[in-house]
Amino acid sequence: MTRVLPVVLVIALVAALPLLGDNYLLRLGTMGAMYAVMALSWNVIGGFAGYPSFATAAFFGLGAYTGAILQGAGVYMPLAWVAACLAAALFAGLLGLAILHLKGHYFAIASLVVAEVLLEITTSWTSLTGGGMGLNLPILRISVDAQARLFFWAMLALASLTLAMNWIVANHRLGFGLRCIRQNEDASGMVGINTTLYKVIAFILSAVFVGGAGALYASWVFYIEPPDVFATLTSVKPIVMALLGGAGTVLGPVIGAVLFLVMEELVWRNLLEIHAAALGILIVILIFFLPGGVLGLFKRRRKPAAPSRPLASAEAGR
């Protein structure tokens, strides 16, 4: 409990951000929370289980379109968000059964292609999705300040849920099983871990909140188009964030998401054209010098004092 309390306090503190009355800051906060949802979700399949999934964009886009289409059909907004979570989870379950028997690079490529396929389907299915013209969502008739707060808190709540999910997984048999799978999948199977089931559950967990984040995002910006929500970068960024913070830990992806957001914002602000390249170089350097992420730095220093902490033990297996 002493470990959970500070985290809850920090979340409560962040939730008070609207008090500052700066809507730009709230926008950044909402993006930060969205990044955290994606990084934490990826962490379950990529960090714990060691499966390099590039399917985040597929789940995100699927959630965004599910939410947008349902809202367009008159479904109450929060219900549309929940439906998007379920749609992403269902899709991940089916997809997981199909591609989780692949390993390493093969799995990475297969998961990467999924977003491309969905992008093509969404673009071609003009009658349902508006195709290349994109989809407009019903505009909320509340003040824009209220909107900024609403979406910030909703995204923050989603991020907190994802964090709790990570914590539960890490301390549950599932987390143990996934770490075993990462270290040696065949041996895990032999000692009685149902590897297929565990991997599919991990894949579903890596999708469910990302789908919700996609739907929230769609409601937030009022307008989505296929290349925006199925962007390959959406798959890559969570991986970078998790690596930055410390993949396979519970708090690492959150720290990575915040760090990434800050760097992205600073570089973007100060360079007009080559910001993408500058950010890339910065990240390469950071990952090069911090192979265990930011949390890895702490862990190495603290290791003699606390050798067997459940949270920190996971990311060591590189």
Partner 1 sequence: MKKQNTTTRPLWGGAAGRLTALALLAGAAGLTQSAAAQETMKVGAPLPLTGALSPEGLKQQRGYDLWAKTVNEAGGITVGNKTYNVEIVYVDYESQTPRAVQSAERLITEDGVSFLFSPFGSGAAKAASSVSERYQIPTVAPTASSPSVYDQGYQYLFGTFTPNSTLTTPLADIVANSGEEIKTVAIYARNDLFPLAIAQEMEASAKAQGLEVISFDEYAIGTMDHGSAFTLMRQSQPDWVFATGYINDLILIRKQMADLGITPKVLTMIAGPAYKEFIEASGPLAENVSSAAWWHPAVSYEGEDIFGATTDYVAAFEAEYGSTPDYAEASASAAGAILQVAIEKAGTIEPQAVRDALAGLDIVTFYGPVRFSETGQINSLEPPVFQIQDGTAKVVFPEDVKQADMRYGDIN
- Residues contributing to the site for partner 1 (CB under 8 A): 22-24, 27, 31, 120, 123-124, 126, 131-134, 136, 139, 144, 217, 221-225, 227-228, 231, 268-276
**Cα 206 from Cα 153, distance rounded (Å):** 21
In the complex, least distance from residue 24 CB atom to partner 1, rounded to whole angstroms = 5
Give whichever of 126 and 183 is closer to partner 1, judged by the CB atom: 126
Dihedral angle over CA of 34, 35, 38, 41, nearest 10: -100
- Burial track 179-209 (b if 16+ CB lie within 10 A, e otherwise): bbbbeebeebeeeebebeebbbbbbbbbbbb
Give whichever of 13 and 272 is closer to partner 1, judged by the CB atom: 272
Which position has the token pair 């707060």?
Answer: 149
Give whichever of 146 and 168 is closer to partner 1, judged by the CB atom: 146
In the complex, least distance from residue 120 CB atom to partner 1, rounded to whole angstroms = 7
Give whichever of 193 and 224 is closer to partner 1, judged by the CB atom: 224
In the complex, least distance from residue 262 CB atom to partner 1, rounded to whole angstroms = 14
Three-state SS for 230-265 is CCHHHHHHHHHHHHHHCCCCCCHHHHHHHHHHHHHH
Give whichever of 106 and 223 is closer to partner 1, judged by the CB atom: 223
In the complex, least distance from residue 254 CB atom to partner 1, rounded to whole angstroms = 21
First-to-last alpha carbon distance for the chain, in angstroms, is 29
**Cα 180 from Cα 195, distance rounded (Å):** 9
In the complex, least distance from residue 229 CB atom to partner 1, rounded to whole angstroms = 10
